[in-house]
Each structure stands twice: as structure tokens, then as C-alpha cells.
Structure 1
Amino acid sequence: MNSSDKILALPQLQEQLNEWRAQGQKIVFTNGCFDLLHLGHVDYLEKARQLGDKLVLGLNTDASISRIKGPSRPLQDEMSRARVMASLLYIDAVVLFNENTPLELIKMVQPDILVKGDDYSVEQIVGHEIVMAKGGEVKTVPLVKGYSTTNIVRKIESTQKNPE
């Protein structure tokens, strides 16, 4: 399987979800921008995947990242980010979403477990009501402190301003 085979459009994702459910697989869902892959991301995704059998990643499109984080982001285009994320062994499917939040995608996926980092409370996690109403779980996983794309960008910018 090529990593690009894990990048699915909504109809393909629905078929895959149906197949996994027929096999009794527990579906985990998380989402994010994942602009520059770093240790914090890898650790988070590994922990998320350990909560179930299949991990579906909702990935913000370039347009949604620009709306949320400003015109200088993302640093990498959506297909580059999708391929990098799909190459990770913890991730079973990557699906792009263009909205500011993954609410509509969560309604479609109907995950057994919805996961975000512990910088969120369960009540702050978009879609928690949907998952809990159908008997699913909403969980947070501990983040590796000090790792973020924003911190990496700041470090690069400060190096450019103050070359050694």
C-alpha cells in the first residue's frame, strides 16, 4: 500500500468505515493542521491510535488553515501534509476538511472515540456531544511539552534575524 492510498475522499472514507465496522474495529478520530511534523505530533498520534483499532485523521485544508492561523500559514500545501501524515503507520485514513472545525466530518465518521490533546477539556472538543450521544468516548491524551509548529517557526525566524 502506498501512503497516498490512505488519503480518502468522503465517499471512499464512508466505504472504509463501513468495512472496518463490519469487522468489529473500534474507530478513533482526531484532527488538526499538522503543518510541520514534529515529535509532539508523532507522540500524540501514537497515543491516539492505541485507544482503538483504526485512526482516522481529519486534516485541515490550506484554506481553512489560512482562515484560522492567518495568511502566512500553512507552510506546506495540503497534499504534502496529507502524504506525510498518511505515511505514518499509526494513521489508517486521512481525509481533508475545508470548514474551520471538523464538526460535519465527525457527524459523518461517527467515531467510537474522539481524541484531542490535553490542552483541551472534553467540553471544549468540537463534536464531543455527537460522539457521547451515541455512546462513544471523548478522550484527551498528554502532549509532549514544548513542541509546536508555532515554536519551530519562531525558532527559524529568530535564527534568520540573528545568524551566528
Structure 2
Amino acid sequence: MKTVITFGTFDLFHVGHLNILTRARQLGDRLVVGVSSDALNIHKKGRAPVYDQQDRMHILEELKCVNEVFLEESLEFKSDYIRTFNADLLVMGDDWAGRFDSLSCLCEVMYLPRTPSISTTSVLEIVKRQK
């Protein structure tokens, strides 16, 4: 059984999120998703997510392409998460290209193209302009 692992904030869940998760799941038998904690998101992006970590995790748990969801508390623990879930493949969006190549000693690393013209940041900008 091939286990695929991926990570993200998954705030303001949109079709880009669904596309990468669906593609990741097609690459294996099982998809495990690490959801960035609220604290990690503040550290990475300088802002709190719109939806809290429990709500974001719940959304992902209900997707048929996702087998398991866990809370990612630190970027530095990615190797630990890969070992814990016995992942064979790490999938990330290509905006992270090269950033996780060092983990290729633990599992295969693949960067998938993002869905064009959609991101949580762009959704937030659209909402701000409509006010």
C-alpha cells in the first residue's frame, strides 16, 4: 500500500485545494494530510487563518479523497511526520518547489502544479475589494 502525505493550511477551502488533494490521492492508496496549526500559520504567514485549525481539519476529514488528517505543529517536524505515517511520497504544490528535496532520503518528493488563478490570498483580496 502506497501512502501519500501532504501539508497545508487549507484556509478558505477552494477548488485549488481540492485539485491538489485529488491529484495527490491518485498517486497512492492512502492520503494523509497535515493541517498547519493556527500558531504555525501565524509564524509562516504573519496572520491567523480565517478558520481555526479544528474547522479546517474537519473540512478535510469529510473529503472522500483524504484518509487521515493530523495537526502540523512545526515545519521542522516534516521528517517525523513522514516516518510516523510511513509515507512513500510527499506531495506539495509547486510554489514550494525544491524546499523539501532534502526529505527525498525518506520518501519520494513531488511538486504538483497549482491550479491557475486561485489561491487563498487571491480569495482574500477579492473579498476585501468587495467591501
Task: Check whether TM > 0.5.
Answer: yes
Q: Extract structure 1 runs of 4+ deviating beyond 3 A.
A: none
2 CA distance for matches of 1:67 and 1:141?
24
| Count of equivalent residues | 130
Is 1:96 aligned to residue 67 of structure 2? no
- 1:138 alignment counterpart: 109
Higher Rg:
1
TM-score, structure 1 length as denominator?
Answer: 0.73
After TM superposition, the structure 1 = structure 2 runs for residues 107-122 of structure 1, keeping only pairs within 5 Å, are 107-121=83-97
> Out of 59, 63, 82, which is 1:84 matched to?
59
CA RMSD of aligned residues (A): 1.5
CA distance in 2, matches of 1:110, 1:119: 25
Query: Is the alpha carbon distance of 1:101 and 1:153 closer, same or farther for their aligned partners in structure 2, counting shifts above 3 Å?
Result: farther
Moved more, 150-159 or 102-111: 102-111
Identity %: 33
Aligned residue in 1 for 2:129: 158
- Deviation for aligned residue 1:101: 4.6
Using the size of structure 2 for normalisation, the TM-score is 0.90
Write the letter of the residue equivalent to 1:87.
E
Bigger strand fraction: 2
| Preserved contact between residue 31 and residue 102 of structure 1 (Cα < 8 Å) | no
Q: Distance in 1 between matches of 2:5 and 2:99?
A: 16
